Amino acid sequence: MEDLNFHLEGMEPREYQINIFREIWLKNSIVVLPTGLGKTVIAAMAASRILRENRGKVMFLAPTKPLVDQHFSTMKKLLLLSDKEICLLTGDIDAASREELWLRSSVVVCTPQVAWNDLRREIYGIEKFGLIIFDEVHRAVGNYQYVEVAQKFLEARKRMILGLTASPGSSMDKLTEITKALGIEKVKIKTEDDPDVRKYINEVKINITRIKQPDDVREIYAVLKQIYLEILDRLKKSGIFQASGISRKNLIEASREISDRARNGESKLFSIIPYITAAIRIDYAAEYLESQGYLIFYNYFNEMLHSEEKSMRRTVSIIEKSEHYKVLLRLIDTCDIQKVENPKCSIALRICEEAIRKNKDSRIIIFTHYRKTSEIVTAYFTEHSSLVRPVRFVGQASHDSDIGLSRSEQHKIIEQFREGIYNVLVATSVAEEGLDIPATDVVIFYEPVPSDIRTIQRRGRTGRAHAGEVHILTYEGSRDIGYLFSARRKENQMKKNISRLRDEVKKTPSTLYDYFN
């Protein structure tokens, strides 16, 4: 290999990684590379050369603390840095200690919140840095701190910025916003179809399972839907909504707008707000019921009925006025919570057991959108199987009585999963983005998600070291189907945008920045 003036300890970069590195060196760049193909290695190559040529310090930003931990370990290992040369910064470290670490460290790995807050307080000088790496760069939009840090860096140093992502998103406007915010001059895109990448791609088989809703669930959902439509009809008559189709997103946006207007003199609107809130809550209850299963719906609805919180009491009061309310209560009362079938749980368990019987060393991840669902699935698996050894994996934040996992607990669970103490990881979205989770044989979507980015990230948890399988569980006639097609449509659009970007880069040999401006 020619001397490219970098050294990675125990790592021989692949040909496509070297080619990408050559093209992005000293340019503000975004690298789009499929999950599991070594974006971090390219970042380490750039960091090594920046340090070797004394071009300044290196900052590595990642959006979550688990990702920060992972990148800290990877960079320390690949660059063979001592504890004095590299540091990991979080808000848990006091300001005086952070200032010392910013000053002495050649490589700083942290969240964008810490980087921006310390920059605003002048705890460090951004002009000291020669390279800033933005992991999951698709987040660099709006007022996210990536944008703030990048702008200050561009004012001070102009370059080098390196953004990394496997999924840049389906919106061309969003891609434009990212490139402008980061002063991007080069976008280097590699897909599974590129010859130098294809040999490293393992087959991933996608299986979509369509499940019939239990009769009890369908009956309850039909009544719940009638109550929801009654509330929407009241809102339409108020003149707040003109369009016939009202989504939960519309309701949430309207709630903010009307609350502002009511506080600013239109006091009559205060009477409308409880109805918007009730519609949002009923829609959540309906989604829990039709995509998550009866138990999570029952827990949510029961908590709502018995809550002492004023807003919740107003919601219950609105629901009680419906002629369908007593029918809903009767249907719920006749359901035995212990016996209502949850087909998604049983089918997911069957998939896990079949994989483990084929290969006793299988590792499986089940993604659930809601934390409560991850709790229910973990408990179900524990009770019903001796083959499956599940563990719940959630974020650090606590929600009421549901205590989050600390960073050390998350690390421990990942290591236990790696070692086979647990063979099924039941995870929320915290496991979607970039974490160094061991290669998995099977990924199960407990429900589809309407996001192209999250779908790609979930799917990318398998097929890394060897061929893998993805199973997406959907209830027939539910919003699961809409979410499935929404994600598919957005992913197809993203692929078109990537092709368009590639074509524009080829046609415009100067810079992508020129193209967008």
| pLDDT of the residue at 48 | 95
| Predicted confidence (pLDDT) per residue in 452-485, tens digit | 888 888 888 887 778 889 999 999 999 999 999 9
Task: Kindly state the average pLDDT of the residues 149-153.
Answer: 96
| Domains contained in the chain, CATH given | 15-200 (3.40.50.300), 204-212+341-494 (3.40.50.300), 215-334 (1.20.1320.20)
Task: Kindly state the average pLDDT of the residues 25-45.
Answer: 91
Please report the DSSP string for 276-304 in residue order.
HHHHHHHHHHHHIIIII-HHHHHHHHHHH
Residue 510's pLDDT band (boundaries 50, 70, 90)? Answer: very low
The closest of 119, 132, 112, 126 to 29, measured between CA atoms, is 132
Tell whether the model's pLDDT for residue 512 goes beyond 60. Answer: no
Cβ atoms 45, 21 nearer than 8 A: yes
- List b or e across 340-359, with b for residues whose CB sees 16 or more CB atoms inside 10 angstroms: bebbbbebbbebbbebbeee
- Cα 490 to the chain's mean position, in Å? 15
3-state helix, strand, coil in the chain (%, to 5): 55, 15, 35
